[in-house]
Structure 1
């Protein structure tokens, strides 16, 4: 279970998130929903350690941790970015294996084996040697998910996973998220799309813009 207690985030004198507390239960999907400018992506960046917080504490299964600490033995939070952020000069397999081998120092043989298992699970078998420009939007999305999963996170976060997709691909992403839940992956989805949130989430956290 992920617990966030009394999180406040400011940029200069502007408060973006004010004393927010929330709990994400194991193996469940939390959707964070709100209008543009309400701080959804900022909240996600705080949870994933891409932004430091002014005040607040994070707990995983009752143990306090710092999302910004990249030297932790276990990867607690993984993230799938809105624009995927795949490295254009690397193949699909290169994108997936880079972080586990460079950051976690895992053996390349083991990482490649797990990467291929994940690619097969997400319908990308045979795409290992393609480059990002050779992939469709939906395929890039799935590669980004595989890349995040390759770090073996306890929680997987998504920033607006359907914003650039047509309705058919939106349904595909929803199914991937639900399939991962069946595999006991805890997930947090930031979205402006309430219908999508209702389709996938066990719980919805609404974020309102601070006046």
Structure 2
């Protein structure tokens, strides 16, 4: 279980998140919803270790954990970014296998086998030798999910997973997230799409701008 206690984050003297506490049980999906400027993405960046918090604490299975300081964070908390952040000069296979080889020190055969298993599951069969510019938005997102899963994270975070997709692809993303839940993956989803949030969430966290 992930527990967050009294998280506070400021930018330039302005409080963005003020003493926020919540928990995410194992294998559940938490959606974080709220208007623009409410701090949703900032909260996700704090959870994933991309931003240093000003106060508060993170606990995984009751053990204190600092995502910002932890050098092995990729294997604890994975992130699927809104703009996917794929390497344009690498193939789909290389995008997915690069980090496990460099960070987890896994052998090439193992990471390629795991990648192909993810591709089959995420309907990316036959795409492994393509480059990001040759993919649709939905395919890029699935590659980004495969890349995050390749690090075997305990928790997977998504920043606005439906914002760059056509509306008809929302159901596809929902199926992927629900399928990962069945496998035991704990997931946190930042979204402004309330229909999507209601569809996938076990619980919701509503955030509002600090006045």
TM normalised by structure 2 equals: 0.97
Q: Partner residue of 2:110? A: 110
Q: Partner residue of 1:68? A: 68
Q: Which segment drifts farther, 6-15 or 98-107?
A: 98-107
Distance of aligned partners of 1:179 and 1:55 in 2 relative to their CA distance in 1, 3 Å threshold? same
| 3-state SS in 1 of match to 2:88 | coil
Distance of aligned partners of 1:148 and 1:22 in 2 relative to their CA distance in 1, 3 Å threshold? same
| 3-state SS in 2 of match to 1:82 | coil
RMSD: 1.1
Q: Give the number of aligned pairs.
A: 211
Question: In the TM superposition, what are the counterparts of 1:91-130 in structure 2 within 5 Å?
Answer: 91-130=91-130
Question: In the TM superposition, what are the counterparts of 1:152-167 in structure 2 within 5 Å?
Answer: 152-167=152-167
Instruction: State the 1:71 CA deviation.
Output: 2.5
Structure 1: 4+ residue segments shifted above 3 A: none
- What is the distance in 2 between the residues matched to 1:73 and 1:95? 18
- What is the distance in 2 between the residues matched to 1:69 and 1:114? 28
Distance of aligned partners of 1:71 and 1:199 in 2 relative to their CA distance in 1, 3 Å threshold? same
Question: In the TM superposition, what are the counterparts of 1:1-211 in structure 2 within 5 Å?
Answer: 1-72=1-72, 75-211=75-211
- What is the distance in 2 between the residues matched to 1:56 and 1:190? 20
| 3-state SS in 2 of match to 1:89 | coil
8 Å CA contact retained: 2:79, 2:158:
yes
| 3-state SS in 2 of match to 1:7 | strand
| 3-state SS in 2 of match to 1:53 | coil
| 3-state SS in 1 of match to 2:188 | strand
Instruction: State the 1:102 CA deviation.
Output: 1.2
Deviations 1:136-157 (A, max 9, x none): 1110010000000000000100
- What is the distance in 2 between the residues matched to 1:72 and 1:136? 31
Structure 2 residue ranges without an equivalent (≥5): none
- What is the distance in 2 between the residues matched to 1:193 and 1:137? 17
Q: Which segment drifts farther, 100-109 or 197-206?
A: 100-109
8 Å CA contact retained: 2:49, 2:73:
no
| 3-state SS in 1 of match to 2:75 | coil
- What is the distance in 2 between the residues matched to 1:53 and 1:74? 18
- What is the distance in 2 between the residues matched to 1:73 and 1:159? 17
TM normalised by structure 1 equals: 0.97
